[in-house]
Amino acid sequence: MTTRNREETQSILDTADLLFSEAQCEEALARMAAEITRDLGHSYPLVLPVMGGAVVFTGKLLPLLRFPLDFDYVHVSRYGDKLEGGNFSWTRAPQDKNIAGRDVLILDDILDEGQTMRVIKEQVMAMGAKSCKTAVFANKLLDHEKPITADYVGLDVPNRYVFGYGMDVSGAWRNLSAIYALKGH
Ligand SMILES: O=P(O)(O)OC[C@H]1O[C@H](OP(=O)(O)OP(=O)(O)O)[C@H](O)[C@@H]1O
Ligand SMILES: Nc1nc2[nH]cnc2c(=O)[nH]1
């Protein structure tokens, strides 16, 4: 994690552009919860967030899913402290024994290039999942096609580096309840 002091971290937020307010995020979250409940509420899915970015989305979404489900997580990063993606660094891969025969719902904070979600969905299907749906709170609008499209999307965000609602700026500001774009990016 980059070492930055409190003032520098505060100034990242002070100079950023607010893209979606807390109220807009909560409205999007409620809509997603209704869509997921409509589609998966009668099955018994395994919910699989992608840590660490999915922490806020997951923590807010789960209590809105009022039907039986199981919970596990994967933990992978390909951005680290950088603003562009690189190699995958795995802390916890999908667990074979939990997945075979299950309807799986993968949760992530953002679908950017789509590489993270593509790889995890491929692994989940290769482990014998019955089905695999994907939900992302933010979908970054790119000018080219992605290798995967999410089944559930909260908000479309512009092609800038965004943070808040679980998304970090080199480790900081995951704790914001709104979504911002980094100045100059
Ligand atoms: O669509 P992609 O281009 O693959 O990018 C999306 C991924 O990037 C972020 O994770 P990151 O690697 O920053 O790790 P983090 O979850 O710890 O923030 C985010 O949480 C997604 O998992
Ligand atoms: N915080 C953050 N993480 C990302 N991972 C991929 N794209 C982004 C982004 O715009 N912001």
Residues 165-174: pLDDT tens digits? Answer: 999 998 999 9
What is the pTM for the complete model shown?
Answer: 0.96
What atom in ligand 1 is closest to the CA of residue 168?
Answer: 18
**If you measure from the C-alpha of residue 161 to the centroid of ligand 2, how many angstroms do you get, rounded to a whole number?**
6
Q: Is residue 139 part of a domain?
A: yes
* The pLDDT value given to residue 49: 98
Q: Is 167 in the pocket of ligand 2 (CB under 6 A)?
A: yes
* The pLDDT value given to residue 2: 60
Amino acid, single-letter form, for residue 70: D
Q: Is residue 118 part of a domain?
A: yes
d(CA 58, CA 179): 16
The count of domains in the chain is 1
Q: Is residue 14 part of a domain?
A: no
Q: Is residue 13 part of a domain?
A: no
Residues of the chain with pLDDT under 70: 1-2
Closest CA to 51 of 122, 116, 146: 116
Q: Is residue 11 part of a domain?
A: no
* The pLDDT value given to residue 69: 98
Domain of residue 174, CATH code? 3.40.50.2020
Q: Is 110 in the pocket of ligand 2 (CB under 6 A)?
A: yes
Type and span of the H or E element at 71: strand 70-71
What range defines the domain where residue 128 resides?
Answer: 20-181
Phi/psi of residue 82, each to 5°? -95, 165
d(CA 70, CA 78): 26
